[in-house]
Amino acid sequence: MNKKLLVMVVGMLMMLLVVACGDNNNGGNELNNNGANDVETNEDNGAEEEVEIDEEAAGDAEFTIRAGIGLNSEHPQYKGLEKFKELVEEETDGAIYVETYHSGQLGDDRSMMEALQLGSQEVTVPSTAPIANFINEFSIFDFPFLFPNSEVADEVLDGEVGQKFLDMLDDQNLKGLAYWENGFRDLTNSEQEVASVEDFEGLTIRTMENDLHLDAFRAMGANPTPMAFTELFTALQQGTVDGQENPFATIYLEGFYEVQDYVSDTHHIYSPFVFMMSKPFYDSLPEDYQTVVDEAALEAGEYQRELNREANDQYLENLIEEGMTFTEITDEAREEMREAIEPVLEEYAQQIDQDLVDEVYQAIEDAE
């Protein structure tokens, strides 16, 4: 092949590469003078809602925070984000402007974490399950039946052990600021009542993108498949999966009762949310503003947890009113589930870090 032709071929390949790289950058963000960017949003399940940006306030601000979550604008997770915005803008007198996005408008938990690492987004609040793909130790928080109740969870997460895990995020170019609450996860499906571990047999269940969740559901006889939350409603609607598991507030506020018939209070995992910031952005803030975002993430977190607990108590009733069949899980049945999963936990404990697992269990015992 003569030299000229070779140069041409290489040139074309380079062009193709540049185009491909541009597409992966979470919507191809163009930064303007104070860091705010023109964000492209996904176009379904509540994501089409208009994002309100106060152009003047954004224009006057020294710093802009793009904060995105996966759940919709009705969910306590978004109410918490709005509270964070209110506190930060007040405390900094508008020097920091917060844009808030919901319903996966900026992507799913995993892609938003990657956007934080890249610096094309500043804040997101994912569940701990997808974080385990970045830091394996976070799988511990998704051990089924780990936390007996949310009060004990608060004490452990807001204590030394919780801080130890938040500090691990630094190595991933992420800054962990607080734990918010997703809640106790409960199973729904469109096939049959689930009252005991046998009833999981053959059900195709969507799980979060987390190996431990997959192995735990396999151990109970189900046929699990990992999927981003942004794809879940459509997958349920089209019958790609029979069921899923989330707290009652999410099942109700995301309208899953429209595409699911059965709900059981399996309460098999307590899911914390982690409020995190892009570390390069956090480090670029003056110290007093770092203190403002630290405190606002904690205060908004307390507010969010309270709202979330009220919501979860209320929304089971709403689900039954919407026509779902509710099955109460007995302590015996829950014990059977725990036994079925036990071998998986032993394997993961060794694989992750037995000492760290023991430290978490000790902290739970001390908090009880």
Name which of 71 and 81 has its Cβ closer to ligand TK8: 71
Draw the binding track, 229-258, toward ligand TK8 (x: CB under 6 A; -: no contact).
x----------------x---x--------
Q: Under rule CB under 6 A, how many of the chain's residues touch ligand TK8? A: 11
Nearest residue to ligand TK8, scored by beta-carbon proximity = 70
Least Å distance, CB 356 to ligand TK8, is 23
Q: Which of 36, 71, 146, 187 binds ligand TK8 (CB under 6 A)?
A: 71
Say how far apart CA 343 and CA 55 lie, in whole Å.
Answer: 55
b/e per residue 242-269 (b: at least 16 CB within 10 A)? bbbbbbbbbbbbbbbbebbebbbebbbb
Say how far apart CA 259 and CA 246 lie, in whole Å.
Answer: 14
**Of 193, 148, 180, 157, the residue nearest 69 (C-alpha):** 180
Least Å distance, CB 273 to ligand TK8, is 7
- If one asks whether residue 127 binds ligand TK8 (CB under 6 A), the answer comes out as yes
Least Å distance, CB 286 to ligand TK8, is 31
- If one asks whether residue 182 binds ligand TK8 (CB under 6 A), the answer comes out as yes
Least Å distance, CB 355 to ligand TK8, is 29
- If one asks whether residue 208 binds ligand TK8 (CB under 6 A), the answer comes out as yes
Q: Which of 70, 76, 162, 176 binds ligand TK8 (CB under 6 A)?
A: 70
Q: Which of 89, 99, 109, 186 binds ligand TK8 (CB under 6 A)?
A: 109
CB 78 within 8 A of CB 304: no
Least Å distance, CB 140 to ligand TK8, is 17
CB 182 within 8 A of CB 271: yes
Query: Which residues contact ligand TK8 (rule: CB under 6 A)?
Result: 70-71, 109, 126-127, 182, 208, 229, 246, 250, 271
